[in-house]
Amino acid sequence: MPTDLAIGIHDLSFSTTSLVLGHDELSRHNGTDIAKYHKGIGQRAMSVPTADEDIVTMAAAAAAPIVQRHTADRIRTLVLATETSIDQSKAAGIYVHSLLGLPPQVRVVEVKQACYGATAGLQFATALVHRDPAQQVLVIASDVSRYDLDSPGEATQGAAAAALLVSADPALIEIDRPSGLFTSDIMDFWRPNYRSTALVNGKESVTAYLEAVEGAWRDYNAQGGLPLEEFRAFCYHQPYTRMAFKAHRRLLEACGVQPDDAAVESAIAATTGYNETVGNSYTASMYLALAALLDSGSELTGQSLGLFSYGSGSVAEFLAGRLRPGYREHLRGDAHREAVSKRRAIDYGTYRELHERTLPTDGGWHDLPHQTQGPFRLAGLRDHQRIYETA
């Protein structure tokens, strides 16, 4: 097996929900100074799912353009990463497999580790392709973040899915070796099985995130990774976009570099465009940051990008990717911008009603209202089974 085989992201597509709640509307409800949202956490709006949207419908919508462009002939594995799982046993990706019309000769698994899961999926995928360069792996990150109403975390909510096609000789980004790892057993953010909303210790979570940035970078450096000055830009997991700026400052300090506002802005600003209006999409967040950077119009051919993935609890990884020649010909900027712009704005009352809505648990037959603008929907429940259909 050739050791110099280039493996990485061949295509990247994301989707979000049909509805959006602006932070100006949220601030009118709770009396918060809008500057605390726009400048303090760097958020302007959050995607809100309709009654018939969930991680499956978003995942299928994100992946469908990839299957349409490349066909499914070489896809042998589908990995779905989520911390918003809909079943304790059946992988949500199996529903996606069905909606996309993939052949039966595909393995499907679901992975979980808070917001880090999709990066684990990406690493699994690169290993599979290295073993058999003829195959491709579809990695999908899909999540809906939910916190209690009127809680500190409410303003960071969001929803999106990102789909990555991993292959040999990738058109977009080659994933380089090595990567840096960091794990710590902490309780900064968690959601027990009996809760529909997450619990979070805000101060602990920020501290844990920043410690993980430094820990993962130090391991990356010890493994023989690229020096800091080799990186053109950095994509961080963004629970809220200002966190990426804090993270980069911590990285610079860990490298013995005095953080400079202009340097931090140059490295991070282009990565926040989608997350600031979509909100926290958990496993998909770092990949929306990557999409925003690629769609920004900057010429990055041959440049190295730093990618930092963090999942509370906690697991983190720092890895590097290098932009391939001709990558801009394969981008989906227009489709991504449309996915964000076409969402319908709702008022706080509508948002609250959707937030408090729960699916029936009595095992009866229940039809759900057709509200989504997307290509797939959750049509209803039958005997404790979810029924999906093309919208």
> pLDDT tens digits for 234-288?
999 999 999 999 999 999 999 999 999 999 999 999 999 999 999 999 999 999 9
DSSP 116: T
> Residue 177's pLDDT band (boundaries 50, 70, 90)?
very high
Token digits of residue 194: 């009996």
Q: List the catalytic residue out of 10, 23, 237, 336.
A: 237
Catalytic residue flag (residue 255): no
Is 249:259 a contact under the CB 8 Å cutoff? yes
The model's pTM is 0.97
Other beta carbons less than 10 A from residue 82's beta carbon: 27
Q: List the catalytic residue out of 115, 214, 235, 355.
A: 115
> Tell me, what's the pLDDT at 4?
80
Catalytic residue flag (residue 83): yes
> Residue 1's pLDDT band (boundaries 50, 70, 90)?
very low
Token digits of residue 218: 């130090």
Spell out the residues 6+ positions from residue 2 whose beta carbon is closer than 8 angstroms to its own: none
Q: Is the pLDDT of residue 64 over 50?
A: yes
Reduce the DSSP state of residue 241 to 3 states and report it: helix
> Residue 3's pLDDT band (boundaries 50, 70, 90)?
low
Give me the mean pLDDT over the 189-215 stretch. 94
> pLDDT tens digits for 308-317?
999 999 999 9
Q: Where do the domains of the chain lie, and which CATH numbers do they carry? A: 7-390 (3.40.47.10)
In the chain, which ranges are continuous DSSP H helix? 23-30, 34-35, 55-70, 92-100, 117-131, 202-222, 241-254, 261-268, 275-278, 285-295, 333-341, 348-356
Give me the mean pLDDT over the 193-197 stretch. 93
Distance CA 268, CA 270 (A): 6
> Residue 353's pLDDT band (boundaries 50, 70, 90)?
very high
> Tell me, what's the pLDDT at 185?
97
Catalytic residue flag (residue 115): yes
